[in-house]
Structure 1
Amino acid sequence: MGVSRNSQAERSLLDEVSAVLETAGIDACSRLCCALSGGVDSVVLLDLLVELRSRLGFDLQAAHVHHGLNPSAGAWRDFCVQRCAALAVPLQTFAVEVVRDHPDGLEAAARVARHDALKTVVCDWLVFGHHRDDQAETLLFRLFRGTGVRGAGAMRAVETGAATGPGRLRPLLEVGRRAILVWARRRHLQWVEDDSNRDRRFARNDIRHRILPAIESAFPAASTSIARAATHFREAGALLDELAEEDARRCGGDVLGHAALLRLSDARLANLLRWQARCRGAEASSRARLFEAMRQLRTSGATHPLRVDLGPLSCCAYRGEVWLEWTAAALPAACEVDLSSPTPVSADWGEGRVVFRGVRGEGIARSALACDPGPRLVPRFAGLRLRLAMNRPPRSFKNLCQEAAIPPWMRDRLPVLEIDGRVAWIGGIGVDAAFACPPQAEGVLPEWVPIRS
């Protein structure tokens, strides 16, 4: 009877992991990499993946990160090497340096270094051994730090990868620590023990060894309930994302209409800006910075130039439009533009682009484009001048920007079109009179789109 219960428990754990892999679409073409620390969670995960490899046909490898923070770290690496050799699983090892003065502490610094190393593995999915108790600890840790709804969603079992890296799988996320230990003992597995995991000076360890047990003494199913709450928070976060996407569409897309934004409540405006920041791959700004940007958006006029630093991104407003841009964005580089085609042409310019459309009677005369070398987009330069009308004198770049109400922080990013070595057009300002298209003649109309839509 005992053997039957053991077999049933093992099938249950295998089925749990298999279900997550199947949800992620893992098949014979998938490349999985197990993040192997040598601890019991990752050792059991690797054992389970080896069991499932023949059933699902995926390619399996492992990766171990040597932080160098513990005197036993070398022995842990050697253990992982031996374990993977015994299972015929290829292993990559990484030695990393951990920043000692990280603002969020040594734990966070080690985590950043570990994930930065793992992101370099050539695979489709990184697979982690996080389990239900880890989920409960993560949610409590984030709540104690004042996280929002999205942060309270904690970890996901399946996170699809971005263009720059593999996805992440946590197939044990619905499994308790006790079930993992049972599997390890029944399979006679060995693992390493990291003594730093019991050091309660680290916040997560204190939650694991003191706070969560105290909660569970009053609420025995606390870990399960807390992990379930994380699922509810994730669902709420998904609904907020849907609302933000709908608000963005109604307000204009990536570049938002100032007037439309002001019709949103503070909560929806904050949600929209946070969502846009995440879509740009930026970390969330502080609540204080975000609400200061919202205050200035509401108190300044629609045409008043505005740029509020939110950290990695800045909230910008100009001529009735609002957008987010990188605070320390690199200046655009010069590039040649082929305008020989009658169809619209676009050229990347910084975070945006310049679009050239064929028109009649406006823009730049197409006859002026026949030159060698061809037209070029360049950044502003010293001594830049432009004549907007034949009956007006050339104006300096500074005066042109002042007259067009272009704020100083935008001026270095204005595209300048040179034709035959002369300035023909400046984005946001206009066409030089010497290149202006005569009435009824074929022309090319440049349009600067500052933010990629």
Structure 2
Amino acid sequence: MLPAALQDELAAVLAAAGVGKQTTLCCALSGGVDSMLLLHGLAALRARLGFRLVAAHVHHGLSPHADHWAAFCAAQCASLGVALQTFHVVVDRNDPAGLEAAARRVRHAALGGVACDWLVFGHHQDDQAETVLFRLARGAGVRGAAGMAAIEFGSPGRLRPLLGLRREQIEQAARDAGLVWVDDESNVDLRYTRNALRHRVLPALEAVLPAAVPGLARAAAHFREADELLDALAAEDARRCGGDILSRTAVCALSSARLRNLLRWKMRTLGVEAVSRTRLFEIERQLRFGAADKPLRLPLGVLACCVYRDALWLERAQPENPVARPWRGEARLPWGDGAVRFEPTQGLGVSQRLLRAAGQSWLVRRWPGLAMRVQNGRPRRRFKNLCQEAGIAPWLRDRLPVLQVDGEAVWIAGIGVAADWQCMAGEEGVLPVWQQSVDQSVTDAGQ
């Protein structure tokens, strides 16, 4: 039986995350002392908090004991009435990032596939100290130095309810409760960076500064708070500079630190890790000192920072090329990295009456000689002129979806509906809307 104080500490983290009835927790179970204590602690709290508990074990195949560990985990879960899912993964031993990083990547990819609300890990305070020290030594910024959070919301979210405990506290609690666990022999292999930090660096540091581990954990909390403030500042700067599509003039009016902070935040909101400081400094230089009237498309990792006239946005550096598709009235058609939605309307968009009387309809890219009249009484305008008037950057034009009916352009994303095909007041219509996955320059481009 685990101590009541330990159960209360676990329960406090779960409660702070909103865990209760109808919530499914998945314990990431390696078989080591940390995860075994966590498994038994969570199992003891099921009746009290009403959540459903499952477990997942990742079989890396790197140790000759891997089969034994998987069988051990299965037996422990069976004794507690916990359903276990075992993932057999393949780790690239020659991964350029190293074996540790490769194993961590495939492990988290496997766990991410578990159907649950929260993944629960047995990380403790010593793990946090190692993480902070490792990242600081590699030149991490505020976000990296923040280490691991006890609660990370997401789909699924991540919980680390043991983060406030030292390794020796966990081992003592496990012994006192009569628990059994397995030991991974690779944990003492000093060729791995984490092990060297754990067995050499941190003991030497604690010999000089006995409170080094809790001190590093407190520093992580301070860094996390600072990171939250930087995110809040970036969100406010984005709002003041235009929102999804920023004003280059407004962005360049920010201080250098705030400009780079805004770009990092923008990248993260698109699910992409920030690039190096060197690259950000170069992007800033070109934004500030490049010709104001010159279009820019600056590589930013898997993204590109784009400027056209005074508009600034991020888009995928190598977007998927769209493929022409026939349209037969579907509500949605794939287009490149995103899709085109066809929304039913009244008095807006393309006339359904005219579409029903027409022949073939296709979603295509521009073609030679493409022209369209967007207002009655005005001449037809070439595609290039229409794009210039609509402020669509040159490199985007080949990706614009065009609704072609019987060889005629009736709608172009970001430009609108051809005058001869527009709905009359009160008439049934359909409004095409282009949605892109990352590129925000003409996202939700309808009329």
TM-score (norm 1): 0.85
* Equivalent residue number for residue 307 of structure 2: 317
Larger CA deviation: 241-250 vs 320-329: 320-329
2:295 corresponds to 1:305: yes
* Equivalent residue number for residue 20 of structure 2: 27
* Equivalent residue number for residue 421 of structure 1: 407
Quick check: 2:350–2:417 contact (8 Å CA) kept in 1? no
2:44 corresponds to 1:51: yes
Inter-CA distance 392–90: structure 2 relative to 1 (3 Å threshold)? closer
Task: Compute the displacement of 1:387 (Å).
Answer: 5.1
2:26 corresponds to 1:36: no
Quick check: 2:332–2:340 contact (8 Å CA) kept in 1? yes
The one-letter amino acid of 1:297's match is L
Task: Compute the displacement of 1:375 (Å).
Answer: 9.2
Q: Secondary structure at the match of 1:412?
A: helix
The one-letter amino acid of 2:443's match is I
The one-letter amino acid of 2:395's match is W
* Equivalent residue number for residue 96 of structure 2: 103
After the TM superposition, which residues 36-435 of structure 1 pair with which residues of structure 2 at under 5 Å, given as runs?
36-162=29-155, 166-332=156-322, 334=325, 336=327, 350-351=337-338, 369-373=354-358, 378-386=363-371, 395=382, 407-427=393-413, 435=420
The one-letter amino acid of 1:378's match is L
Task: Compute the displacement of 1:347 (Å).
Answer: 9.1
Task: Compute the displacement of 1:288 (Å).
Answer: 2.0
Task: Compute the displacement of 1:425 (Å).
Answer: 4.1
The one-letter amino acid of 2:401's match is P
Inter-CA distance 357–200: structure 2 relative to 1 (3 Å threshold)? same
The one-letter amino acid of 2:209's match is F
Tell me the alpha carbon deviations over residues 134-164 of structure 1, each in whole angstroms, 9 at most, x when there is no partner: 00000001101111101111101111113xx
Task: Compute the displacement of 1:329 (Å).
Answer: 2.7
Quick check: 1:338–1:374 contact (8 Å CA) kept in 2? no
Q: Secondary structure at the match of 1:27?
A: coil
Give the length in aligned residue pairs.
434
Segments of 5+ residues of structure 2 without an aligned counterpart are: 435-440
Tell me the alpha carbon deviations over residues 347-404 of structure 1, each in whole angstroms, 9 at most, x when there is no partner: 99655878999999xx988598444458957231543521559997875x57876898
Inter-CA distance 208–385: structure 2 relative to 1 (3 Å threshold)? same
> 1-side partners of 2:216 and 2:62: how far apart?
31
> 2-side partners of 1:354 and 1:54: how far apart?
47
RMSD over aligned Cα, in angstroms? 3.5
Aligned residue among 5, 9, 19 for 1:16: 9
The one-letter amino acid of 2:93's match is R
The one-letter amino acid of 2:138's match is R
Inter-CA distance 96–398: structure 2 relative to 1 (3 Å threshold)? same
Q: Secondary structure at the match of 2:53?
A: strand
Percent identity over the alignment?
A: 53
The one-letter amino acid of 2:364's match is P
Q: Secondary structure at the match of 2:306?
A: strand
The one-letter amino acid of 1:282's match is V
Quick check: 1:102–1:109 contact (8 Å CA) kept in 2? yes
Q: Secondary structure at the match of 1:238?
A: helix
The one-letter amino acid of 1:197's match is N
Task: Compute the displacement of 1:298 (Å).
Answer: 1.4
Quick check: 1:386–1:432 contact (8 Å CA) kept in 2? no
> 1-side partners of 2:378 and 2:4: how far apart?
86
Larger CA deviation: 95-104 vs 131-140: 95-104
Quick check: 1:359–1:445 contact (8 Å CA) kept in 2? no
The one-letter amino acid of 2:195's match is N
Larger CA deviation: 314-323 vs 127-136: 314-323
Larger CA deviation: 367-376 vs 128-137: 367-376
Inter-CA distance 365–207: structure 2 relative to 1 (3 Å threshold)? closer
Q: Secondary structure at the match of 2:315?
A: strand
Q: Secondary structure at the match of 2:197?
A: helix
Larger CA deviation: 239-248 vs 377-386: 377-386
Tell me the alpha carbon deviations over residues 167-205 of structure 1, each in whole angstroms, 9 at most, x when there is no partner: 111000011111101111111111111111111111111
Q: Secondary structure at the match of 1:204?
A: helix
Inter-CA distance 377–227: structure 2 relative to 1 (3 Å threshold)? farther
The one-letter amino acid of 2:191's match is R
